[in-house]
Structure 1
Amino acid sequence: MGKAGRFACILTPMLLTLAGLICIILVMIGQLSTSGNNAPTTKLGRDLYFFKADTSNFGDKPNKLDDLNIDNNLLEALQGQASAGHLKDFYQVGLWSYCEGDKDPKTGVETITHCSSSKSNFWFDPFTVWNLKNSTAQKIVGDEKLEKGLNTYKKVSGFMIWSFGIALALSAAEIIIGFFAIFSRWGSLVTTIISTAQTIFILAAASTATATYGLLVGVFETALKDINIEANMGKQMLGVMWLAVAFGVASGLFWLFSVCCCSGKSPHKKVSVEKTPYTYERVASPAFPAQHGQQHTGYAGASHSQQQGTAYEPFRKNHV
């Protein structure tokens, strides 16, 4: 396989790595503001979220509070926030920030009105967002239901963010180092090592995000479902995230394949042997011409001439 075959062998994992890098970037721009003034995110960013809390149906609840499986202090606090216009219709959580907005009751069209500032240690705290921090509602309800789930989410959110960041950096390094793999199997070996590390981090990040936000959805459903506050995970974000994992695994396997195969050397390279200068060739003796059908070649011919008692040297020096 020549250089062209080597290039084709490297091209496949390079494209897979690039696709994985794009997926990680998409995960990281979800719910990210388009500017520094917390403006709404782009349409692509709006559709990518890990977790969504829908509070648009909060007003559609039974009149008898005794029928609700929720603490009255939390309900009254939320009612106060809704009356003051501080409770938005939905909240979407990304990796670095969250966005909130309104929902048209007739058409169901959602419009993002505000996005929070991005933070490297971001985690979504509904009590802070709903202005219920350190309130009686948080102390009573949070200890039993929301608090435990939120504490778990807070602890692993930093690891999750750093895992995605490291996976992004390793993906970029994988592409850069991958160019050297075109010329050498050693380049493929180094790239394979980097790819393995990238796969480990993106897999850890995706697994952590899936488990964490799945837990958060369960906590919201348990604690707030009776007052029609719903929660769900973003299918688009999950799809993009696990697609990044798939691309990472596939690229690693192809990088490993390029270490074992695709040497870049042609198996049909021709080797020509030229005559060295000052070689000897057998010539016919003028005194003893060769008989018909007899060849005087090699050392045997020389011995025959010497047996005839002649001093003629049967070899000539050939200057090439």
Structure 2
Amino acid sequence: MGKAGRVACIFTPYVLTIASLICIIMVGLGCTKASSDTLNNLYFIRLDLSNISQGSGVTSEITDRLADAGITSVTAEEVSATIKTFQDDGNIADFYDIGLWGYCEGNSTNGKDTVSTCTDPKAQFYFNPSSILGMSEAQLEKELGSGMKKTMNVYKAVSKWMFIAYLVAFIATCAQVLLGIFAIFSRWGSCVTTIVSIVSFLFTLGASLTSTIMFSIAKGSLGTALKVYGVEVDLGKNIYVATWLAVAFSLAATFFWMFSTCCCSGRSPYGHKDRHNTRGSITAEKAPYTYEPIGAAHPPFGSQQPQHGYSTSYPPPPHHNDIPMTHHNQQSSAYEPFRHA
């Protein structure tokens, strides 16, 4: 298969690699630009405080919520006072969307969510609800239960690993796009690209698993604790579709890169001149240790019988067996030596 076949073989994994890169970029761009509705819909988790006024009074409902959440460190009166504080605080938005680099906040009007501002992108970002709600960490731990501090510490550490995993996946996928060009010309290029593709797939998979598991756990723990205050916790949809599509494209690209290392050679089967002469006929090689006499086409010697028992395909002359050498007055008994191939 020639170069055209090699290009066709590389085309499929190359396109899959670009598709995976686009999906990773979409994950990274989520919650970074307030004016983009598309990017605003890319978030891992949302804290919805728009219904916080529903629990403003000291009712038996708040007591039931505390019992369901397992929070025994605060009373219903304290919860009611905290809710009243949230209502009076004009800086608290209706919802908060958490992304990879930061978060966005906005308000809900007539059932329509409008993002007002987004934070500047920050490496190894993690969402700190105490700073958003205007509460100290000690007060937040008291309000949400003793296990909340441990949960937040785990979330902080895992968020850093998740950010690093996405960053490595992005860099490795970009390297695939560059190395894929060299894979067109040789299988060695495909081999190097395959190694980088495996690294990209593993880190993309690790980042996707981390984000999905971590925020699913956060939804369960935070959702239960914040439900007491009328806060709802929901997972995003589009960003998880994007991250798992990146995993699927990366896996498929890795498979086809591996396939290109053992198939679709770029060499042409008609380009080996050492096996053919200029007219296209096959050049026969002489076997070792054979002797070839100079035939009749090279006078004055003519055809002759071989010496020392070696035979040729030439028949003996009809009149005599030996032709004496007469050139340059050489002796008549001399004979032509045989050539050694």
TM-score (structure 2 length as normaliser)? 0.77
Distance in 2 (CA, whole Å) between partners of 1:197 and 1:148 is 32
Distance in 1 (CA, whole Å) between partners of 2:320 and 2:168 is 87
Distance in 2 (CA, whole Å) between partners of 1:145 and 1:75 is 21
Structure 1 pair 242–300 and aligned structure 2 pair: CA distance change class (3 A)? closer
Distance in 1 (CA, whole Å) between partners of 2:211 and 2:80 is 29
- Quote the residue 2:134 is aligned against: 131
C-alpha displacement of 1:233: 1.1
**Greater Cα radius of gyration, structure 1 or 2:** 2
C-alpha displacement of 1:300: 3.6
C-alpha displacement of 1:272: 2.8
Give runs of aligned pairs for residues 1-320 of structure 1, distance below 5 A.
1-33=1-33, 40-61=34-55, 63-68=57-62, 69-70=65-66, 71=74, 72=76, 73-104=78-109, 106=110, 108-134=111-137, 136=139, 138-267=140-269, 271-273=275-277, 299-301=312-314, 303-305=316-318, 307=320
Contact map agreement 1:51 1:93 (CA 8 A) in 2: yes
Q: Structure 1, residues 85-130: CA drift from partner, whole Å, max 9, x if none?
A: 12211110000100000001x3x11111111222112111111111
Distance in 1 (CA, whole Å) between partners of 2:37 and 2:115 is 10
Distance in 2 (CA, whole Å) between partners of 1:28 and 1:147 is 27
C-alpha displacement of 1:311: 6.4
Q: Structure 1, residues 58-85: CA drift from partner, whole Å, max 9, x if none?
A: 1123733443123443442242132221
Structure 1 pair 61–141 and aligned structure 2 pair: CA distance change class (3 A)? closer
Distance in 1 (CA, whole Å) between partners of 2:3 and 2:295 is 42
Structure 1 pair 267–87 and aligned structure 2 pair: CA distance change class (3 A)? same
- Quote the residue 1:318 is aligned against: none
Structure 1 pair 145–65 and aligned structure 2 pair: CA distance change class (3 A)? farther
1:262 maps to amino acid: C
Distance in 1 (CA, whole Å) between partners of 2:127 and 2:164 is 17
Structure 1 pair 78–60 and aligned structure 2 pair: CA distance change class (3 A)? closer
Structure 1 pair 76–21 and aligned structure 2 pair: CA distance change class (3 A)? same
Q: Secondary structure at the match of 1:304?
A: coil
Distance in 2 (CA, whole Å) between partners of 1:41 and 1:165 is 25
Instruction: Give the fraction of aligned pairs with identical amino acids, expressed as a percent.
Output: 35
Contact map agreement 2:56 2:84 (CA 8 A) in 1: no
Contact map agreement 1:30 1:47 (CA 8 A) in 2: yes
Number of aligned residues: 293
Structure 1 pair 309–152 and aligned structure 2 pair: CA distance change class (3 A)? closer
Q: 233-242 or 121-130: which moved more?
A: 121-130
Q: Secondary structure at the match of 2:125?
A: coil
Contact map agreement 1:217 1:233 (CA 8 A) in 2: yes
C-alpha displacement of 1:55: 1.1
Contact map agreement 1:167 1:199 (CA 8 A) in 2: yes
Gaps of 5+ in 1: 34-39, 286-297, 313-320
Distance in 2 (CA, whole Å) between partners of 1:216 and 1:302 is 99
Contact map agreement 1:31 1:41 (CA 8 A) in 2: no
Contact map agreement 2:43 2:97 (CA 8 A) in 1: yes
Distance in 2 (CA, whole Å) between partners of 1:56 and 1:65 is 20
Distance in 1 (CA, whole Å) between partners of 2:135 and 2:79 is 9
Distance in 1 (CA, whole Å) between partners of 2:87 and 2:257 is 55
Contact map agreement 1:41 1:115 (CA 8 A) in 2: no
- Quote the residue 2:69 is aligned against: none
C-alpha displacement of 1:228: 2.8
1:91 maps to amino acid: Y
Q: Secondary structure at the match of 1:222?
A: helix
Q: Structure 1, residues 255-279: CA drift from partner, whole Å, max 9, x if none?
A: 1001111111234557533589xx9
Structure 1 pair 83–135 and aligned structure 2 pair: CA distance change class (3 A)? farther
C-alpha displacement of 1:306: 6.7
Distance in 2 (CA, whole Å) between partners of 1:84 and 1:18 is 46
Q: Structure 1, residues 17-73: CA drift from partner, whole Å, max 9, x if none?
A: 11111111100010013xxxxxx2522210100011111111123733443123443
TM-score (structure 1 length as normaliser)? 0.82
Structure 1 pair 139–226 and aligned structure 2 pair: CA distance change class (3 A)? closer
Q: Secondary structure at the match of 1:59?
A: helix
Structure 1 pair 280–97 and aligned structure 2 pair: CA distance change class (3 A)? farther
